[in-house]
Structure 1
Amino acid sequence: MESLLIPVLILLLTGIAVLLALRAFNRRTKSVAAANSSNQRVDQAELARTAAAKLTEEEHRRLYALIAQGQAMAAIKLYYEASGVGLRAAKDAVSALAAYPQPFQPPAAPAPEHDDDDVPERFPYRYRAIASKGDVTREVSSNMLNDEIYGRIRTLAKSGDTEAAAMALTRHSDISIKQAREFIALLDD
């Protein structure tokens, strides 16, 4: 009997070790799967946002109508044609849009570039610029002028570029080029 006790104990200890190793392996596998699942959800949500941004309002409406009707192939075809991406990318995008519905977001208008004097901006107030020399006084009142623009016009006039100053003043007010030249002439100090 003693001769069987040692092999049985070895067999029992080996079985316990195998069970503990399997349990640890299963825990690790579950934690890795959970981490991958959460990363995949984030990736899918981001994919849905970028995919929706590639659609016009009409395409967006039609795509979600097809998804709601269960017409996945037609939705993939619509997205494929609308976005110009590959077929696999279109399938992934449509599945992400179905899993994470996105409202239509109109494309953001590009921020206007403020080129010095190209397109005048209208301000909610009227700016008054007054120039005088001797008995002659001229006034320009406009809601397209402000201190910064008037400062640039004065700098152009004082540097001797009176024609550019007069053109800038006509762009930012409702006066004629002749009136602008008369006004700029009064700034030549």
Structure 2
Amino acid sequence: MEYVVPLIIVLVIVVVVVVGARLLGRRNQAAQTTEPGIDQAGAPVKAPRGNRQITRETAQEASARLTPETHQRVYALIAQHQVLNAVKEYRKATHMGLGDSAAAVAALAEFPQPTPEPLPEPVLPSNDAPLTVEDIMKAAPPIKAAVPNAYRYRAIVSQGDEVREVASTRLNAEIYAQIRQLALAGNYDGAARLLRDHADIGVAEAQEFVSMIGPED
């Protein structure tokens, strides 16, 4: 029951607008022989209040506010003589007032308008488009600069037919000279510890290496 009174009001507005438009059209036809803006008695004609005239132009403006989908829904309701629902649909689609929506529906019913063309969809770049050099450079992982091989110092000792070799980037002639001096002085533990500090070698392997250091090495 709460919707009955508003619907009746909308219906009355639509009827009044349609009837008023037809009466206004008849008066305009009768006044075509007179000057614009002056009636047959010579008095100036007042312009109608508001923008609720039922003309082809107002119908075009009312149609332009709709999308193709809402345009079809409004005209479907008009074709089914569901004027109140058509007004509600138009008002929902355009957020206009009740009176303006009723006048717009009346204009659309009086001057039928074609369905507006949908807006063209934006053209997106195709995935098959050829890649540019910049695209390839951006997608490629960064190239690391080649690091030259660091110099590996080779220390070689021999005892009879046995030969031992230690190679390391942390060794050099000066450090090996210190290792050799410690070994020749009989400090094999200190020589092995210094060798392990500058080469990736185990304890037993380091001790065996320094024990083979002789005066000629």
TM range (shorter): 0.3 to 0.5
Q: Normalised by the size of structure 2, how large is the TM-score? A: 0.34
Larger radius of gyration: 2
Q: Normalised by the size of structure 1, how large is the TM-score? A: 0.38
